[in-house]
Each structure stands twice: as structure tokens, then as C-alpha cells.
Amino acid sequence: MDKTLGIGEKKVIWIIIVFGLILRLISLNQSLWLDEAINILAVKNFSLPGLITQYAIADFHPPGWFIILWFWGKVFGYSEISMRIPSVVFGVIAIFVVYLIGKKLFSKKIGLLAALLLSINPLHIYYSQEARMYSMAALAVAVNIFILIKLLHKERINIIFIVMSNLFILLADYVAYFIFPAELMLLILLKEKKLINKWLVAAFVALVLTSWWIPIFVNQLNAGAVAAENLPAWRFIVGGFDFKTIPLTFVKFIIGRISLADKMLYYALLLPVCSLFAYLLLIGIRKSNNFQKKLLLTWVVIPPLIATAISLVVPVYNYFRVLFILPGFIILIAVGMLHFKNKLRIIIFVIVVLIEFICSLLYLLLPGYQREDWRRLVYYFQSFKPSIVLFESPGILPPFDYYAKGSINAKGALDDFPAKDEHAVSNLDSIVKGHKEVFLVDYLVQISDPNRVVVRKLNDLGYIQLDIKNFTGVGFIYHYILK
């Protein structure tokens, strides 16, 4: 990193940013998955008031992302690439903001190294390519932290910018709100009485400006409580309490969403990688001064702890929901890496960069590590021309609808959701009447039909399983024929 400063700091950061952008554009047209398709069809079909007051009740997030996507879609269309570009932009800007934080908090070297690590981080790349709000939330928190650092360095900042930064978070994602108690705790630890007052005023103004959202937020809570009661398995998918969650977050921050079918090999490879990063993290903490340590640890540690505690009651914690702490984690890793001298520093630099880059390439280039492949499923059915396709749900699932556009005869097999007994499939005989073959998509069947009521009903109606196919992320597709 010493030599890179010699060719010009601005050139280096621009090279890193452009490189990060290129990585985030690779495979950007991969198939949409469920949540993305739900969002995209919503912004396409709802008016803006309807999107905020009706659709948002069932999607437990603030309105900022929906509003951005609504306007963006009206101008640039609703293709996979178009709908993901806002997240790409947020992700690339975050690289620059992390550089600014590292530079302001430590040095130019730390800023550049942290920016490089974020640019190639597999988890950040993944969510910079998703038409959801997590990349936006990560940027919002990074900007907010940068402003806080400037305030702690006694730099004058107009309170309007502080309020706007708070609004950015409040409109991005609910879990990102946990950065506010972390920041307040930091200010108390640092005994910044005057700054606490300014911080509280800015927070209060931002809350007042978003108070119009409170009634909808209450409705979201009520809808979420009903869903958690009726779908107990769902809470563990969306973020229920689990002792493995925090260790899993650490692993995902390093390797992203990469995994291996051979778990023995996976853990054998994971152990030395995680050990290295844990060692670098500890060194980064130890080599930080008191101020740096308190700021970075409150940023990285407090929000996950709050999310874990709340998940005992309301399922909110999943590793991607705390993506906004990843920049702080990466800065500490960068500090740990630059602690070493001469050849050892170069060796560690090469190892860390290779780990991150290889994991990113595995995701970007191998479809098996990418999102649910609904597009390939629809293409398969369009070429096969099935008589009827059934879903383990009351209706057609949004990603299937997005790609099929009514070209395939598909229906939901369930009258009730989730299916508890045969009453949930009381109309299935009329749905499949006259069809000698049936295809069943068992996506999320463990939630919608854990007792496999649909399969039992098909067997009772005389259908037998002929074939089974597997589609990445979607799961198994069963082909039934009538005896």
C-alpha cells in the first residue's frame, strides 16, 4: 500500500471504485428471487400512494426503498438490471465513504485498504446486486457514522445535514435504526455533553419529519405478529433468535453466501480462514486508540446485540440485515493487516485479498451460488408446455408471474395458508380435473404445507410421481401423471 500512495491517492481510490463497480455489474441480470420480484411487481402495479399505504403494510420495511424503486421503474423500466442499478450505485458510493471514514479515523493507507476490501467483499457485492434496501441501509449508516466522526473531531457541520443523514437511515431499513442507540452510547462513553444535545435535537427533528409513517408502522407490526403466530417456521427464516446467528454473521462477512455440499471440506477450509480474520480483527481492535476502539466497537457490536435481544420477541436478526456494520468490521481488519511489516504484510495482504476475491468470483460466475433461478424454471415450462403447474400456496408466486407473464397454466393448490389439513386442498380435485399430468413446485413447502397435504391429495386422486427436477434456489419440481 505504500507504493500505491506514490501514484496519487485520488487515482488509487478511483481505480478501486471503478473496480468495485465492474464487479457489481457482473451477472447483474441473474434471475430475480422471491422478495425482489414481490417488490418489483408492487412498484409496477401500485400507485405511489397505494404502494405506501397498502403494499408496505405486508413488507416490514420503511418506505424509502419502495419510493426510490417506484420512480426508478417509471423512468428506466422493470428489467432485472434496471431494478438492481440503485443498489449498485449505493454500494459503489459506500466504497468511497468507507475510504473517507478510514482516512478520517486512521490514515490514508487504512482508508484505501478498507475501500479495497469493501470493493471485493463477497457479501457487499451480493447485496449491491439485489433489488432490496440493504445496500441503501449500509450506505446510510456509513454516511451517518462519517458525519459523527467529523462532529467528534470538532468540525462544524450544519444540523440540516445531520437531520438529512438521520432521515436517510429512517427511510432505509428498521434494523439500521439500531445504530442510533449505539451512537448515543458512544457519545455518553466519550462524555460529549454538548454533542449529545445536538445529536438528540437532530434525531428528534428527523423523527418528527417521519412521524407520518407511524400509523403504517403500527399496521406492519400487527401484520407481522399475525404472520409470526400463523407461520412459526417463518420466524426462523426472516430472523428469529438463534445462538448461531452472530457467529454466522462473522462467517458471512468474510466469505459471503458461499457454501459447499461437502460439509467436512467446507469446515476444514473455513477454520483457517476464519481464524486468520479473527486474529486480524483482534489486532485491529488492540492497535486502535481509545477513541477509535470505542467508535468502531459500538458500530460493529451494539446493533447485532440489540437485534439479537429483540429477536427473542420479534424476528428481525439475519446477517444480511446488519450489512450496515460490515464497513466497521472491514476497517478493523484493515488496521490489523497494516500492523504487520515488510514481507509478512505483503503475504497477509495477498492472502486476504485472494480469499475475498475468489469468494466473490465464485458467486459472480457460478449460477449455483446465485439467486433463485425462477427464469430458468419458467423457460423449462415454456419449452415443455405442461398441462398445469401447481404451487404450494394460494396463488402463483411473484417471480414465476414476473417471467411467465400468463404464458403458463399455473395455479395455487392451497385454499388456506399454511395448509393444516385436507380442508386446505378441498378444491384441488376441481383444479386438476381433466389434466393427465401435473407439475408441483414445492418452493417453501416447509412453511406453506409442512405436512405435504397437497401430495397426499394428489396421490388420493390417482396421480403418481414420474420425475423430479431441481432448480437452483427454487427447490424440487415434481412431475405427476394420472394412473
Residue 265 has, within 13 A of its CA and on its CB side, a CA count of 5
List, for residues 336-376, the tens digit of each pLDDT value: 999 999 999 999 999 999 999 999 999 999 999 999 999 99
Is the Cα dihedral 377, 61, 24, 272 positive or negative? negative
3-state secondary structure of 206: helix
The whole-angstrom separation of Cα 196 and Cα 254 is 34
Among left, alpha and beta (phi > 0; psi -120 to 50; other), residue 482 is beta
Rounded to 5°, the CA angle 127-216-419 comes to 70
Quick one: cell of 363?
Answer: 458467486
Sorting pLDDT into bands at 50, 70 and 90, what band is 237?
low
At residue 271, the pLDDT reads: 96
Judge whether 469 and 389 are in contact, CB under 8 Å.
Answer: no
Confidence of residue 191 (pLDDT cuts 50, 70, 90): very high
- Cβ contacts of 322 within 8 Å, gap of 6 or more: 175, 249, 303, 304, 307
pLDDT for res 234: 61
Among 307, 277, 9, 327, which Cα is nearest to 149's? 327
What pLDDT is stored for residue 367 in this prediction? 93
pLDDT band, very low/low/confident/very high, at 244 (cuts 50, 70, 90): confident
Return the pLDDT at 316. Answer: 83
Asked if 323 and 173 touch (Cβ cutoff 8 Å), the reply is: no
Cβ neighbourhood burial of 37 (10 Å; 0-12, 13-18, 19+): buried
Q: Using DSSP, state whether 392 is helix, strand or coil.
A: coil
392-418: pLDDT as tens digits: 999 999 999 999 999 999 999 998 888
Structure confidence at residue 420 as a pLDDT band (50, 70, 90): confident
- Return all residues near 305 (Cβ < 8 A) that are at least 6 apart: none
pLDDT at position 382:
94
Mean pLDDT confidence for 316-337? 96
Average pLDDT over residues 438-461: 92
Q: Summarize pLDDT for 132-162 with one digit per residue, the tens.
A: 999 999 999 999 999 999 999 999 999 999 9
Burial of residue 93, with CB atoms counted within 10 A of its CB: 0-12 exposed, 13-18 middle, 19 or more buried: middle
Average pLDDT over residues 189-211: 95
Mean pLDDT of the residues in the chain: 93
49-99 tens-digit pLDDT: 999 988 988 888 999 999 999 999 999 999 999 999 999 999 999 999 999
pLDDT at 3 over 60: no
User: Is the pLDDT at 2 greater than 60, yes or no?
Assistant: no
> 112-121, 220-229, 240-249, 252-261: which range is least confident on average?
220-229
Residue carrying C-alpha cell 403458463:
408
235 pLDDT tier (thresholds 50, 70, 90): low
232-256 average pLDDT score: 79
Cis peptide before 181 (omega within 30 of 0): no
pLDDT at 384: 84
The three grid cell numbers given for residue 458, joined into one nine-digit string: 394428489
- Asked whether 288 and 102 are in contact (CB, 8 A), the reply is no
Q: Would you say residue 176 has pLDDT above 60? A: yes
pLDDT per residue as tens digits for the range 247-277? 999 999 999 999 988 899 999 999 999 999 9
Query: Can you read off the three cell numbers belonging to residue 380?
Result: 423449462
User: What is the full DSSP assignment across 60-123?
Assistant: -S-SHHHHHHHHHHHHH-SSHHHHHHHHHHHHHHHHHHHHHHHHHHT-HHHHHHHHHHHHH-HH
**pTM metric for this prediction:** 0.93
For residues 217-222, average pLDDT: 84
Calculate what percentage of the chain has a pLDDT beyond 70: 95
Q: 465 pairs with which residues across the strands?
A: 480
Domain boundaries, the chain: 2-369, 374-482
pLDDT at 317: 87
Q: Which of 149, 137, 91, 134 is nearest to 115 (CA)?
A: 91
**pLDDT band for position 6 (50/70/90)?**
low
pLDDT of residue 53: 87
